[in-house]
Amino acid sequence: MDDLIEDVDFEDDHQKPKLILALAKILLQCVTTSLWLMISVACLPLFLLGLLKWGLPPTIPVWSRFCKYFTAVFTEGKPKENIPFTNRVLLFLILFNTLLKVPVNGVCWYIDELLYPSYHKVNIDEPVFMITASRTGSTQLCHYLENDTKNFISPTVAETALPYLWVWKLIVLVANSLGLKQEQMLSFTLFGKEALKRHEFVLNKSDTWDGLIRSWHFGVLSSYLGCSFMKWGLSPIKTNEPFDYEFWKSHEQFTHCILKKVIYCRGNPNQRMIIKGHFLTIAKVLEKQYPKAKIFVVVRHPVDRIRSLTNLLKVVSCDGPYKMMYGLFPMTWRVARDYAIHTQIPYCEQEMLFYKDPADNKLVIPFTMYVNNLSATLQRIYSFCNLPIPDDVVSNAIRIQSTTHDRTEHRASYDPNFNKSLTSLGVNETKIKEHLSEYIAWINTLDDFKKTN
């Protein structure tokens, strides 16, 4: 796929972080490390007892993963990818903090096993998995569906970030004592305005499932270590890079436990669990584990998706939590572009292989239909799930789409520094279309909306 990319110069190829600010962030991380050390020492005996009884929780990376990342911090990245030394020191300290937190995170997980062991008995009979590529509007579509609390339920960002039943119950108690709704306590975000124009990052709603799980296994840190390591640590599918088996094994266990916890805590018998993400790698595993599951996808033209993803990656690294919390120097345009090309093209090919053959448990929705006829899209999803569609679902979704997600208005407000074309980034769009001609033809065949409207 290197023939799709030209070697061009970018304005951030040689930019450097502000040294004084970077040193201040490093000092702050050192202080945080000292605090976590004291807390973790106190939790260590309890953690070891829990480890013997219940095994390693899926929130905790295995030791070999720590070793791989600690090595990568000082070895990965090419000169043109412009990874400053201060970033490497910060990443080392962040990883070291994560290692120190292992006893604390483990004890938090084991409290659930001790207090609420019956959550394991919960059945997830007919889940709905939206397994789709990046930048297809899948997050907002999932929000439309989960607003229908009569039929659907989905883990929120907060529930995935703190996946403990006792914490969820504590939050409810605190909210009630303060006279607040739970949503009011969780309505903030760690993303800046420019990032929020492209994706709705909020704690009280669902988001990309595999991305949230990766936060526990520091997969996002790989995006600050160059394209090669990023393709290993943040790839949604198998590529020609070594495969991250450890993460996907934890992903399966995490998914199984959290879905049960959510239903146990706030579900009702009529609700269908729905999660969305880019976990195509384990789609067949989920099919076997949940034989009555429904799986659907929104497919979008690859050139549009790759362009959107490249800009999103860049803006999030400049305007997201790792910049705000740790002061990490953002990834370069070169890394964002190369990662998008090298992961999304094989994703398209594997996506087509999985969804191409007709099946009762799979549904493919063209992006053009979703954007231009939301009512028909929702009707099709409900019919696919064998559910009657409530009267207010379509009207509420159309109202939200028209008032807060006007695509033309949103794009007009984008900062031009984070709204680059693929051509300006040295990507040959014509060759992408040639490379994915079969995939594009498949999308065009599916796009019956254009033919009937």
Domain ranges of the chain: 2-452
Q: How far apart are CA 69 and CA 76, in angstroms?
A: 10
Residue 452 pLDDT > 50, yes or no? no
Instruction: Tell me how far apart the alpha carbons of residues 287 and 293 are, in angstroms, rounded to a whole number.
Output: 7
CA nearest neighbour of 274 among 365, 344, 205: 205
**pLDDT > 90 in the chain, percent:** 63
Q: What is the pLDDT of residue 185?
A: 58
Lowest mean pLDDT among 149-153, 227-231, 359-363, 409-413: 409-413
* Higher per-residue pLDDT: 21 or 368: 368
CATH C-level class of 2-452: alpha beta
Span 238-256, average pLDDT: 85
> How confident is the model at residue 332, as a pLDDT?
93
Is residue 186 pLDDT above 80, yes or no?
no
Instruction: Report pLDDT for 280.
Output: 94
In single-letter form, the type of residue at position 428 comes to N
Q: How confident is the model at residue 243 (pLDDT cuts 50, 70, 90)?
A: confident
Question: What's the confidence (pLDDT) of residue 380?
Answer: 95
The C-alpha atoms of residue 453 and residue 449 are separated, in whole angstroms, by: 6
CA–CA separation, 222 vs 17, rounded Å? 19
The separation between the first and the last C-alpha atoms of the chain, rounded to the nearest angstrom, is 37
Amino acid of residue 259: L
Look at 76-85, 119-128, 233-242, 286-295 and tell me which has the smallest mean pLDDT. Answer: 233-242
Which of 241-250, 295-304, 329-338 shows the lowest mean pLDDT across its residues? 241-250
State how far Cα 381 lies from the chain centre. 22
Contacts with 163 (C-beta within 8 Å, 6 or more apart), sequence order: 59, 109, 254, 257, 258, 261
Q: Any residues with CB less than 8 A from the CB of 122 and at least 6 apart, and which? A: 260, 263, 264, 267
- 324-342 pLDDT tens trace: 778 888 999 999 999 999 9
Residue 73 has pLDDT above 90, yes or no: yes
Alpha helices, DSSP H, located in 129-244: 138-146, 157-161, 165-177, 182-185, 193-196, 209-216, 227-233
For residue 342, the tally of other CB atoms under 10 A from its CB is 22
* CA 420/CA 374 separation, integer angstroms: 28
* pLDDT tens track for 408-419: 666 678 888 889
| Rg (alpha carbons) of the chain, rounded to whole number | 22
Contact 182, 171 (CB under 8 A): yes
3 state SS of 2: helix
User: Averaged over 435-452, what is the pLDDT?
Assistant: 79
> Do 119 and 261 form a contact (C-beta atoms < 8 A)?
yes
141 pLDDT more than 50: yes
pLDDT score of 52 more than 80: yes
What pLDDT score was predicted for residue 152? 96
pLDDT at 183: 61
For residue 182, the model assigns a pLDDT of 60
Query: In the prediction, which pLDDT does 422 show?
Result: 94
Per the prediction, the chain carries an average pLDDT of: 89
CA atoms of 71 and 113, how far apart (whole Å): 34
Q: What pLDDT, on the 0 to 100 scale, is given for residue 240?
A: 67
| Residue-level pLDDT at 257 | 96
Q: What is the predicted pLDDT for the residue at 453?
A: 43
